[in-house]
Structure 1
C-alpha cells in the first residue's frame, strides 16, 4: 500500500510540476506575438489488479496526456481575413492620398487661372511686348506645373511598385518558412510542447502572409497546411515545398503576378491594395494626360489659325502630348498669333486672341482639372470610411481571438497557486507514504 501511495504521489507531483512549467511559460510569453495560451490535459493512470488485489483496477496516479493550445481555427481565420482586407484598404488609401497631394500641391489650377487672366490682359493691348511676355511666362509656368504633377504621379507609382516588389520577396520568404514548418511538424510528437510551438509559428506566418496577399488554407490532421494565393487560386505551399511568387510584368504601371508561371491576382493584403491604388493612378494619369494634350491641341489649333506680330502664320504654342512632356514652343512674345489670318504685321486686331480665349472657355481645362481633383478626393473620402469600418472589424476579430487564445495574467496567477498547492499536497502524500513504510519496518523488528 505504501509503495502504491508513493508512486501515486510521485505521479501527482510530476503532473503538478508540468502544470507549473506550462503556467510559467504562459506568463513569460504573455506579450509574445502569435503565442497561444497552453494548458495541460491530465489523465488517470490505471493498471489491472494483481494477485491479492481487491477489484479489477489498481489506481496508479496521473500523467500528462497532452499540451493543448487554446486556439480557435475559426477565429484565427477571421483575423487573417479581416487583417488582409484592412491591409488592402490601408495601401489603397495611402496611394489615393498621395495622388490627391500631388494634384493639390502642383498648383496646376492656379496656373490655369493665371494663364487665362494673362490672355485677358493682353486683349487690352495686343501689341504690348510686356503683356505678350507675361502670357508666355504664365504658359511656361502652367506647363511646368503639369510636369510637376506628372512627376508626382510617377513618384507615387514608383513607390507603390517598389513596395510591391519588396512584399513579393517577403511573401516568398514566408512561404519557404511555412514549408519548413510543415516538414518539422511531421517530426514533432502529438501533444508535445514542440508541436505547440510549431503551430504557433505556422499561424503567425499565415497571418503575415494574409497581410501581403489573399490566401486560402487547407489544414491536414497532422497540423501541416497547404496554401493557395490570389484569384484564381494558385498553389503556393504544398507540404515541404514552396513555389515562387513573382511580378510577371506591368500593364500601364499595374503589376501582374504569377506563381511558377501561373497567372493570379491578389485581392487582399498589401499587394491587393497596391494593385487597386495603381489602377486608380493609371486612370487618373490618363485623365491628366488627356487634359494636358487637349489643352495643348486647342491652343495650337487657334494659334496656327492666326498671324503673329510679324505678320507670319502662327506656329504651334505647345509641344508634347502628355502632362509630363508639355512644353512651350514659342520663344518670344512676338510669336503669339493674336490677329486673324490675313492681317498685316503689327496689327492690333485681337480677333484670334479672342478665339483663343473662347477656346479656353469651351474646352474649360480649369473645370476638367477641378473635376479630376474632386473625383480623387471623393475616392479618398469614401475609402477613408471603408478603411475605418474595416479597422473596427479587424480589431473586433483580434480582440475575440486574444480573449480566447491570449494569456490572462490573473488566471495564470490563480493557476500558480492551485498547482503549487497540488505539488505540495503530492509532496505531503509522499511523506505520508514514507512514514507508513518506516512504521511497518519498525513493527517487523
Structure 2
C-alpha cells in the first residue's frame, strides 16, 4: 500500500513540474533567446533483493532527472557568425549611403556650380564686357568653394559620428562581457538540470548572441556551461576564470578607428565594431579625396585666371584661397578684376577657361568621383542584402529547434494534465483501500 502511495506521490511531483515547465514555454513563446524546455522523466525503481535481475525490480513511480533545453550547438554557432557579418555590412552600408548623400549635388551643389562656371565662361568669351555675366562667373566661383566646404563639413561630422557610435558600442560590448562573467558565476553554483540553470543558460546565450553581433568572438564551455570567451580574429582572451578584459577604441586624426585590448592592437573582422571601422576608413578616404579634388581644381583655375589680364591690364589674381576643401574660399574679386582677356585678345582668357572642359576636366573628374561613390554604395547594398538573407536563414534554422510550438505545448499540456489526474486518482484509490482495510479490522 505504501508503494501505491509512493507511486502516486511521485507522479504528482513529476507532472506538476512538467505542467510548470510547459507553462514557462507558453509564457515565453515570444521571448527572444528563450529555448524550449523539456522535463526529463524516468522510471523510479523500487528496492529489490536481486538488483541485477530485471524481473525482480518493482516499479516505484517516476522521478525527474532534469530539464533540457532544445538547442543545436552548430546551428547556434552558424547563426552567430552570420549575424556578425550582417551587422558589419549593415553598419557599413548605412554610413556609405550617408556619404553618398553628402557628396550629392542636392546636398552641396558642386556639380551645378561647376557647370554654371564653365557655361558662364563660354558666354563671357562671346560678350566679354557684360558685367552681369562677370558677376555670375564670380558667384559661380564662390558657389564651388562653398560646395566643397559644405561637403567637407558634412564628412567631418560623419567621422565624428562614427567615432562616437563606435565608442558607445565598445562600452556596450564591455558591459556585456561583465554581464557574461556574472552569468558564469551563477552557472557554477546552479544545480544541474534545474530551472535556474536553464534560465542562466538562456541569458548566457542571449549575451553571446549580442557579443557575436558586436564583434567576432569564440566561446568554449566548461562542465557547468560557464564560458571562456576569446576574440576570433586575434585569439585574445576576453572572459576567463573570473577575469574580464575590456577592449578600447581610438580615433585617429583623420577619423580612422583602431581597437585594442590591454594596450595591444586588436583586429576585428566582423560585427558592428568592424562595420564602424570600415565606415570610418571610407569616410577618411573620401575626405582625403575631396581635399585633393578641391585643391586640384582651385590650382587649375587659379593658374588659368592668372594667365589672363583684367580691365586695367594687370595679371589676373587668384580666384581661390585655402589649403583644403574645408577652408576653400573665393578671394572676393570684383567684376573689373576678372581676367577675361589675355595678351592677344579681349576674350582670350575666357576662351582658355571654357576650353578646360573635356576629358579629365574638373566637371568630369567630379562626376567620376560621384560615380565611384555610387558604385561603392551599390556594392555595399548588394553585400548587405546577401548577408541579411543568410543571417535570416541561419536564424530560422536555429529557431526551428528552439522555438515554441503552441500546438505542441497544448498537446503536452493536455497529456500531463491527464497524467496528473491519474496520479491523484492513484493516491485516492490507496486511501480508500486503506480505509476499507482498517474498517474491516
Length-normalised TM-score, structure 1: 0.93
**Displacement after TM superposition at 1:50 (Å):** 5.5
Partner of 2:438: 441
**Which shifted more, 331-340 or 286-295?**
331-340
SS of 1:340 mapped into structure 2 = coil
Q: Contact 2:219/2:230 (CA < 8 Å) preserved in 1?
A: yes
Partner of 2:194: 192
Q: Contact 2:170/2:247 (CA < 8 Å) preserved in 1?
A: yes
Partner of 1:78: 78
Partner of 2:14: 15
Partner of 1:309: 311
Partner of 2:69: 69
Q: Which runs of 5+ in 2 are unaligned?
A: none
Partner Cα separation in structure 1 for residue 295 and residue 30 of structure 2? 57
Deviations 1:88-128 (A, max 9, x none): 11111111111111122222111110011111111123233
SS of 1:306 mapped into structure 2 = coil
Partner of 1:419: 416
**Displacement after TM superposition at 1:232 (Å):** 2.2
**Which shifted more, 407-416 or 354-363?**
354-363
Deviations 1:250-275 (A, max 9, x none): 26311100112121122111111111
Partner of 1:382: 379
Q: Contact 1:44/1:61 (CA < 8 Å) preserved in 2?
A: yes
Partner Cα separation in structure 2 for residue 249 and residue 388 of structure 1? 29
Q: Contact 2:309/2:316 (CA < 8 Å) preserved in 1?
A: yes
Q: Contact 1:85/1:390 (CA < 8 Å) preserved in 2?
A: yes
**Displacement after TM superposition at 1:188 (Å):** 0.6
Partner of 2:143: 141
**Which shifted more, 356-365 or 253-262?**
356-365
1:174 to 168, 173, 176: 176
Partner Cα separation in structure 1 for residue 384 and residue 41 of structure 2? 46
1:150 to 149, 152, 172: 152
Partner of 2:47: 48
Q: Contact 1:293/1:323 (CA < 8 Å) preserved in 2?
A: yes
Deviations 1:342-373 (A, max 9, x none): x7xxxx52223322233354641111111111
SS of 1:324 mapped into structure 2 = helix
Partner of 2:361: 364
Q: Contact 2:187/2:225 (CA < 8 Å) preserved in 1?
A: yes
**Residues 244-283 of structure 1: matches in 2 within 5 Å?**
244-250=246-252, 252-283=254-285
Q: Contact 1:249/1:257 (CA < 8 Å) preserved in 2?
A: no
Partner of 1:232: 234
Q: Contact 2:119/2:354 (CA < 8 Å) preserved in 1?
A: no
Q: Contact 1:338/1:353 (CA < 8 Å) preserved in 2?
A: yes
Q: Which runs of 5+ in 1 are unaligned?
A: none
Partner Cα separation in structure 2 for residue 13 and residue 363 of structure 1? 86
Distance 1:280 1:230, change over 3 A: farther
Distance 1:239 1:215, change over 3 A: same
Partner Cα separation in structure 1 for residue 268 and residue 400 of structure 2? 30
Length-normalised TM-score, structure 2: 0.94
Partner Cα separation in structure 2 for residue 306 and residue 95 of structure 1? 44
Partner Cα separation in structure 2 for residue 55 and residue 91 of structure 1? 66
Count of aligned pairs: 436
Partner Cα separation in structure 2 for residue 328 and residue 73 of structure 1? 64
Deviations 1:34-85 (A, max 9, x none): 111111111222243259xx96433321111111111111111122111111
Q: Contact 1:118/1:135 (CA < 8 Å) preserved in 2?
A: yes
Distance 1:55 1:383, change over 3 A: closer
Question: Are 2:88 and 1:88 aligned?
Answer: yes
SS of 2:424 mapped into structure 1 = helix
Distance 1:46 1:419, change over 3 A: same
Partner Cα separation in structure 2 for residue 21 and residue 381 of structure 1? 52
Q: Contact 2:319/2:333 (CA < 8 Å) preserved in 1?
A: no
**Which shifted more, 357-366 or 217-226?**
357-366
Question: Are 2:410 and 1:408 aligned?
Answer: no
Partner Cα separation in structure 1 for residue 233 and residue 312 of structure 2? 64
Partner Cα separation in structure 2 for residue 64 and residue 9 of structure 1? 14
Partner of 2:302: 300
Partner of 1:29: 28
RMSD over aligned Cα atoms: 1.9
